[in-house]
Amino acid sequence: MTMTGQDSREVRVRAAAPEDAEAVACIYNHYVKQTVVTFEEEVVSASEITRRIDEVQDASLPWLVAERDDGLLAGYAYATMWRPRRAYRFSVEVTVYVHPDHGARGIGSALYRRLLTELRDGGFHAAMGGIALPNDASVRLHEKFAFKKVAHFEEVGFKFNRWIDVGYWQRLL
């Protein structure tokens, strides 16, 4: 799948490869260090990202990247199993991160479009997305793809010396 963003560069969504780990870590670590959208508090190494990509792909789940025509990774998305019990085997949690310099260009949408299609085609039934609140951009993205808010947990995370709420959005595939 390709798309053209506002800066007229083409973006191709593809499966993540081991050589993407450094760029994925760079994107993710921006959010770790600068935001509350992830509750991780320590930067994550490229080798740890490689392990995480392998773990997702070994579970036959997608980990996708959006690569610009100049080779820059503009974002990534993946799915993990929702819960470990067998009865949850058709439910997943989905995650998307866009390079901080490439927001509002359709990259998150391109990633989610492909991710949700692969999950549906893979026989999954329900997808959940957790969002640290407030986060209007993430809420808009999820609701654009027909996710509906199903839960709101107050003050369940603590980062940067403040309490953070988390909402969950769900959609059936």
Give the pLDDT confidence score for residue 101 in this predicted structure.
86
Distance CA 56, CA 62 (A): 7
Asked if residue 129 lies in contact with residue 149, where contact means CB atoms within 8 angstroms, the answer is no
Give the pLDDT confidence score for residue 5 in this predicted structure.
42
Distance CA 158, CA 41 (A): 10
Three-state DSSP at 129 gives strand
Query: What count of other Cβ atoms lies within 10 Å of the Cβ of residue 84?
Result: 7
Give the pLDDT confidence score for residue 102 in this predicted structure.
78
Tell whether the model's pLDDT for residue 20 goes beyond 70.
yes
Reported as a single tens digit per residue, the pLDDT across 45-100 is: 999 999 999 999 999 999 999 999 899 999 999 999 999 999 999 999 999 999 99
- 150's tokens: 């199903």
Average pLDDT of the residues of the chain: 94
Average pLDDT over residues 141-154: 98
Name, in order, each residue with C-beta under 8 angstroms of 172's C-beta and a sequence gap of 6 or more: 125, 126
Domains assigned to the chain: 2-172 (3.40.630.30)
The DSSP output letter for 5 is: -
Tell whether the model's pLDDT for residue 114 goes beyond 50.
yes
Asked if residue 103 lies in contact with residue 95, where contact means CB atoms within 8 angstroms, the answer is no
